[in-house]
Amino acid sequence: MHETDDAFRAMTNGEWYFDSAVTIQKRDATRLALQKASQILDNDARMATIQKLLGHTGSDFFIETGFEFSFGENITIGDHFYANRNVVICDEAPVTIGDYCKFGPGVSLLTPYHPIDPLERATKKEVSSPITIGNHVWLGANVTILPGITLGNNVVVGAGSVVTKSYPDNVILVGNPARVLRKIPAIKKD
C-alpha cells in the first residue's frame, strides 16, 4: 500500500486533485483491512492490527468498534489515546493528534473538501487540508472538525460542536459553529 502517484501526492500536499487508480485502490484496501480488523474480538490483537494501518501511534492506544479512516498512513497519534465508537477520520491530508487525547462517540475529522461552485464540484475534483490536534484534547460526542483546523493543547470541545476555525490552548468550545465558551487553566507542570 505504499505505491504513490501524482494524485496521491497532490492530495496529501493540499493541492487540487482527481482520484486516480492508486488512490481508489489504496482506499479500497484500507476499507477491506478495517472490515477484517473489526471482526477481531481480542482487543490487543485488534489494536495491533489497526496500529499497523496507521502512520504512527504512541503507547497506550485504544479505539472502540466502528473506527473508519480513508488511508491510515496519513494519521499520526501520540501516547495515551482513546476513541469511543464510530470515529471517522478522513485523512486525505495529514492528521496529527497529540498525547492524552480522548474522542467521544461519533467524532469526525474531515480533511477533504470540494469546490463551492456546482459545475466545478461536478468534475469530482477535491482538495484537502491538514488537521492538527494538540495534547490533552477532549472531543465530545459527535464533534466535527473541518479541514485545515488546528486545536491547541488542553482544549475541550462540547458534544455536537462543529469546529470551523482554529483555536489556541486552554479553551472550551461549544456550538455550531464552535465558539469559545470559556478559557480554562493551563496544565501545571511539576
Grid cell in block for residue 128: 484537502
139 phi and psi angles, rounded to 5 deg:
-105, 115
Assess whether the previous peptide bond of 118 is cis (omega < 30° from 0). no
- Compute CA distances 64 → 3, 41, 78, 167, whole Å: 29, 11, 17, 27
* 157 sits in which H/E element: strand 156-157
* 44 sits in which H/E element: helix 43-53
| 114 tagged catalytic | yes
Question: Among 10, 150, 2, which Cα is nearest to 72's?
Answer: 2
Amino acid at 11: M
HEC string of 62-116 equals EECCCCEECCCCCEEECCCEEECCCCEEECCCCEEECCCCEECCCCEEECEECCC
Among candidate residues 2, 56, 80, 114, the one labeled active-site is 114
Residues assigned a catalytic role: 114
